[in-house]
């Protein structure tokens, strides 16, 4: 059932691996040990862990309840919420507690104007945003007057988005501009920034990289004039928050005048526990310690771990130990994507 806590405890050796749901949950004691063999003389250490886990669970529930009672936000009417364009992602989010917290706090504080998440494809940017929007939705968007999302990433099509025209035209209209077609791209960007910034708007721009330069000497620079003007405007002044996900850092924001209002966060790394859960979901076999060892051996790199799940899944038995067969790439530096590249080569 939803919200139920199940804590499997291995009392004595048995063939627990035959039960898929058990191998996917974290059992106590850890690492395939059992009470009768490994903790006979001090079994309380195991049950203390159980008690602690229950306590954490109950406290988290109480806290969430207190927060929902506290947040009696008025929900914006449906025509002021437009969230249908984000790509669909998995229902579960592993790890990323820090990032969710950062989003929560940044929204609550209201000091920052733009928050961007930067990472390679497949690292989980859209998944994170979708999950956070779900939380926001459950709390009536926490005081937002308008919520608007756009995705520049044309998933599943070969056509590349090369301008922000479609976004600018749609957004101007949606935010109530009187004449969306009027003016130069520069004018449009400025008007749009003002419309967005003057109310407490949650604006989400997902997958912005097609509109950024891929050339080395200007990597990440925004190529579309209206979009650039709009973002510069929002960086300066914004009653709400603009959340961006992109594969490329935006160099325009690397300026001290934006120091207090724009924040950029890398998402390349995940915790080893989250990495372990990702591998488990792919059906990778091994003890917790083995799986966490694999995650660490690949630098806790989210994309590498995602790919490892696919790679190991494709090998009979799905055992974690097969990572030992993945050749090293001694000539590639970690900063140049050594971890995911090793897995890609192996695949
Ligand atoms: N922390 C996570 N928890 C659960 N699933 C994840 C996590 N990170 C990534 N995934 C899974 O990995 C896949 C890729 O994630 P996602 O689409 O969010 O990546 P992205 O960073 O937005 O990539 P792109 O730049 O291609 O848009 C998805 O199927 C998603 O479900
Ligand atoms: Mg994405």
The pLDDT tens digits of the residues spanning 324-334 come to 999 999 999 88
pLDDT truncated to tens, each residue of the chain (347 aa)? 456 788 889 999 888 888 888 877 788 998 889 999 999 889 999 999 999 999 988 888 887 777 765 667 899 999 999 999 998 888 888 888 889 999 999 999 999 999 999 988 878 899 999 999 999 999 999 999 999 999 997 655 556 677 899 999 999 999 999 999 999 999 999 999 999 999 999 999 999 999 999 898 999 999 999 999 999 999 999 999 999 999 999 999 988 999 999 999 998 788 888 899 999 988 999 999 999 999 999 999 988 999 999 999 999 999 999 999 999 999 998 878 899 999 999 99
What residues line ligand 1, using a CB cutoff of 6 Å? Answer: 89-90, 92-96, 119, 121-127, 153, 207, 247, 274, 302, 306
Written as one string, the DSSP assignment of 288-332 is HHHHHHHHHHTTTBHHHHHHHHHHHHTSTT-BGGGGGGSPP-TTS
Residues 6+ apart with CB under 8 A from 148: 82, 83, 171, 174, 175, 196, 201, 202, 203, 204
Q: Is the dihedral of CA 198, 203, 209, 210 positive or negative?
A: negative
- Other CB atoms closer than 10 Å to residue 272's CB: what's the count? 19
What are the backbone angles phi and psi of residue 25, rounded to the nearest 5°?
-105, 165
Ligand 1 pocket: which of 96, 126, 273, 343 to mutate (most atoms within 8 A of CB): 126
**DSSP per position, 135-161:** HHHHTGGGG-SEEEEEE---TT-SPPP
Domain with CATH 3.40.50.300 in the chain: 78-266
Nearest atom in ligand 1 to 94's CA: 3
Which pLDDT tens digit goes with each residue over 227-281? Answer: 999 999 999 999 999 999 999 999 999 889 999 999 999 987 888 888 999 999 8
Contact between 313 and 282 under an 8 Å Cβ cutoff? The reply is yes
**Rg value, the chain, Cα:** 23
**Which residues share a beta bridge with 9?**
28
Q: Nearest 10 degrees: CA dihedral of 174, 177, 182, 187?
A: -100
Which CATH superfamily, name and number, covers 78-266?
P-loop containing nucleotide triphosphate hydrolases (3.40.50.300)
Protein residues within 5 Å, CB atom, of ion ligand 2: 125-126, 207
């Amino acid at each position: 059932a939803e919200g139920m806590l199940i804590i499997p405890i291995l009392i004595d050796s048995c063939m627990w691996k035959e039960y898929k749901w058990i191998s996917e949950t974290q059992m106590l004691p850890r690492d395939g040990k059992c009470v009768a063999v490994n903790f006979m003389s001090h079994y309380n250490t195991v049950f203390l862990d159980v008690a602690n886990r229950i306590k954490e669970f109950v406290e988290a529930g109480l806290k969430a309840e207190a927060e929902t009672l506290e947040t009696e936000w008025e929900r914006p009417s449906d025509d002021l919420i437009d969230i249908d364009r984000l790509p669909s992602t998995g229902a579960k989010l592993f790890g990323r507690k820090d990032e969710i917290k950062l989003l929560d706090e940044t929204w609550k504080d209201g000091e920052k104007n733009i928050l961007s998440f930067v990472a390679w494809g497949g690292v989980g940017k859209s998944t994170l945003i979708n999950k956070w929007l779900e939380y926001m939705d459950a709390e009536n968007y926490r005081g937002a007057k308008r919520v608007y999302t756009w995705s520049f990433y044309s998933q599943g099509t070969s056509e590349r988005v090369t301008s922000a025209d479609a976004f600018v035209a749609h957004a101007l209209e949606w935010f109530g501009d009187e004449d969306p077609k009027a003016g130069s791209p520069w004018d449009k960007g400025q008007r749009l920034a003002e419309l967005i910034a003057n109310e407490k708007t949650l604006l989400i721009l997902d997958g912005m990289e097609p509109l950024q330069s891929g050339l080395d000497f200007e990597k990440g620079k925004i190529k579309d004039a209206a979009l650039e003007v709009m973002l510069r405007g929002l960086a300066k002044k914004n009653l709400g928050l603009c959340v961006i996900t992109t594969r490329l850092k935006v160099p325009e924001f690397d300026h001290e005048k934006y120091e207090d209002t724009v924040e950029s966060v890398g998402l390349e790394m995940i915790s080893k526990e989250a990495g372990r859960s990702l591998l488990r979901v792919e059906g990778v076999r091994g003890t917790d310690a083995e799986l966490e060892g694999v995650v660490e051996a690949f630098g806790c790199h989210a994309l590498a771990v995602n790919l490892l799940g696919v790679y190991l899944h494709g090998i009979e038995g799905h055992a974690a130990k097969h990572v030992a067969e993945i050749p090293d790439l001694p000539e590639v530096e970690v900063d140049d994507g050594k971890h995911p590249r090793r897995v890609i080569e192996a695949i």
